[in-house]
Amino acid sequence: METRRFFKLTQIAFFGLLFPLFFSSCEVFEEVLSPENNSSFIVNTTDDTSDINPGDDICEDVNGNCSLRAAVQETNTRSQVTYTIELQEGNYLLDSTLELKNPFGVLIKGKGPENTVVDGQDGVRVFQINATETSNISIHDLTISGGNPEYEFSDFRATIGGAIRVGFLNLDPESPVDPPLRINPFVNLKNVIIENNTAYAGGGIAILQGRFNMESCIVRNNSAVSVNFQGQEGGGFGGGIYNKSLLNIKNSSIYQNETRDTPRFIATNIGEGGGIFNAIDARAVITNTTIANNNTDFRIGSGISSISGSIARISNSSIIDNSRSGIENLGADSIVLANTLVSNNSINGRIYSLGGNFMDEEGEYISLGTPTSPDQFPTFGITILPMLSSFQRIGDTWGYMPLEGSPLIDQGNTANCNDIDQSGFSRSGLCDIGAIEYR
């Protein structure tokens, strides 16, 4: 595993100018509310049936039932009205992608991720969100699985995003699958599991446009796979999440995602970001989140990979046991850590610190200012250990907890501590380093 020497520098005037701009660009979308509920549809069938008369504000299929697809079709025809679509317990198996484009707002709400599952049956993307900047699309309390748009489109570039895709790439003005539309919706996921989805990039989620907010979510066992379409090699970017816009993650767990080759095509020198891939000009704020056990088969950045022009701020989080490197900076404008644990995976590329971090492997490092809690990292070849539990379920989430006597306990920088940890447990007094507090 590649290691690099730490360099600790003091703050200079440039950083005083840089980080106010960084915070304004990333955190303006952090607090996003669900839409007010002016009207609602109660889904009473798991059948994937269409509405018989879209636009009449009545959710009804040919059998007289209200299906998920019929409800979505009705919301797409209405403006200046927000809707709640209430799902029941059960598996909703889709034959084609559900497009969400209500210009005002939609909340799709299940009965909990263990009870309500929307499934693409390994043949279609589950949700395509094409709403405008006035729209607030929220999905709560369900699981999204089985998304795989590989066989839905002839152009591999359209197969980005397995479970959810927001927006378009605008690659070709003449393309019927990627028209040059500019959309910018707020998208909010809360208590959602994204699992077992596959795509060329963004196996779980692809954020190409808009502002995407995730809270108390799990993204696991998703894959971004390499492809060779008409001589074009590509893919394998962002096994869990591919971000090309604005992304905010809180109190979540991203684990066991991967980028990998397909049996049809053995790729070379491609594939990054097993957990998260932060693309050109993307912005990401990651708080109280565990990124663990993600894998890249054939390149780097198994935890999070951030490339040229992108910015990522990671605080009170844990990046652990990813197969190649935990954090990969491939020319990003900045990756900033605060109160974050990076263990048993390397840091490649320059990292900026706001203090209170624990890193058990070497890397290139610049300290910003004089934090109340210094960073902990190896010196003179002396190994340091974080003393953690195994990866386990803690409350409704998954992660690692410090053990008694751990050097993580009460060592966070108070200026960047959050009131609660990833599991919702109070961070009273001095906060611990990492996503989950000792208790």
CA-closest candidate to residue 344, choices 392, 382, 386: 386
> Could you give the residue ranges of the DSSP H alpha helices within 13-67?
13-27
Length of the chain: 439
Question: How far is residue 210's CA from residue 32's CA, in Å, rounded to a whole number?
Answer: 13
Question: How far is residue 301's CA from residue 297's CA, in Å, rounded to a whole number?
Answer: 10
Q: Which domains does the chain have, with CATH numbers?
A: 13-38+81-416 (2.160.20)
Residue type, 356: G
Q: What does pTM read for this prediction?
A: 0.89
Please say whether the beta carbons of 190 and 218 come within 8 A: no
Residue 425 is encoded by which pair of tokens? 């447990």
Q: Report the chain's terminal Cα–Cα distance, integer Å.
A: 33
Q: What is the DSSP letter of 42?
A: E
Question: How far is residue 169's CA from residue 172's CA, in Å, rounded to a whole number?
Answer: 8
The CB density around residue 21, as the number of other CB atoms within 10 Å, is 10
Residue 253 is encoded by which pair of tokens? 């767990």
Question: How far is residue 326's CA from residue 324's CA, in Å, rounded to a whole number?
Answer: 7
Q: What is the pLDDT of residue 269?
A: 46
Q: Please, is 77 exposed, middle or buried when counting C-beta atoms within 10 Å of its C-beta (0-12, 13-18, 19+)? A: middle
Q: What is the pLDDT of residue 227?
A: 66
**Alpha carbon of residue 129 to chain centroid:** 16
Alpha carbon of 349 to those of 65, 240, 313: distances in Å? Answer: 55, 22, 15
Question: How far is residue 17's CA from residue 155's CA, in Å, rounded to a whole number?
Answer: 43
SS3 call for 137: strand
Q: What is the pLDDT of residue 156?
A: 61
Q: What is the pLDDT of residue 373?
A: 81
Question: How far is residue 294's CA from residue 236's CA, in Å, rounded to a whole number?
Answer: 13
The CB density around residue 410, as the number of other CB atoms within 10 Å, is 16
Query: Tokens 């989805």 correspond to what residue?
Result: 197
Residue type, 308: S
Please say whether the beta carbons of 359 and 1 come within 8 A: no
Query: Tokens 């970001």 correspond to what residue?
Result: 273
Question: How far is residue 243's CA from residue 233's CA, in Å, rounded to a whole number?
Answer: 20
CA-closest candidate to residue 204, choices 169, 163, 253, 237: 163
Residue type, 270: I
The CB density around residue 60, as the number of other CB atoms within 10 Å, is 18
Tens digits of pLDDT across the chain (439 residues)? 233 333 333 333 334 334 443 433 344 343 333 445 479 999 999 999 999 999 999 999 999 999 999 999 999 998 777 899 999 999 999 999 999 998 889 999 999 999 999 999 999 999 999 988 778 999 999 999 999 987 555 566 678 999 999 987 654 444 444 444 556 889 999 999 999 999 989 999 999 999 999 999 999 999 998 765 555 555 688 999 999 999 999 999 999 999 986 544 444 445 789 999 999 889 999 999 999 999 987 667 899 999 888 999 999 999 999 997 899 998 877 899 999 999 999 888 889 999 999 998 877 878 886 667 889 988 766 778 999 999 999 999 999 999 999 999 999 988 889 999 999 999 988 899 999 999 9
Question: How far is residue 291's CA from residue 335's CA, in Å, rounded to a whole number?
Answer: 15
Alpha carbon of 154 to those of 86, 108, 172, 292, 306: distances in Å? Answer: 34, 30, 14, 34, 29
**Alpha carbon of residue 371 to chain centroid:** 28
Residue 167 is encoded by which pair of tokens? 């927006």
Q: What is the pLDDT of residue 166?
A: 94
The shares of helix, strand and coil residues in the chain, as percent rounded to the nearest 5, are 10, 40, 55
CA-closest candidate to residue 282, choices 254, 236, 244, 318: 244
Question: How far is residue 333's CA from residue 283's CA, in Å, rounded to a whole number?
Answer: 10
> Could you give the residue ranges of the DSSP H alpha helices within 240-387?
none
Please say whether the beta carbons of 352 and 11 come within 8 A: no
SS3 call for 281: coil
**Alpha carbon of residue 99 to chain centroid:** 20
Q: What is the pLDDT of residue 170?
A: 56
Please say whether the beta carbons of 189 and 224 come within 8 A: no
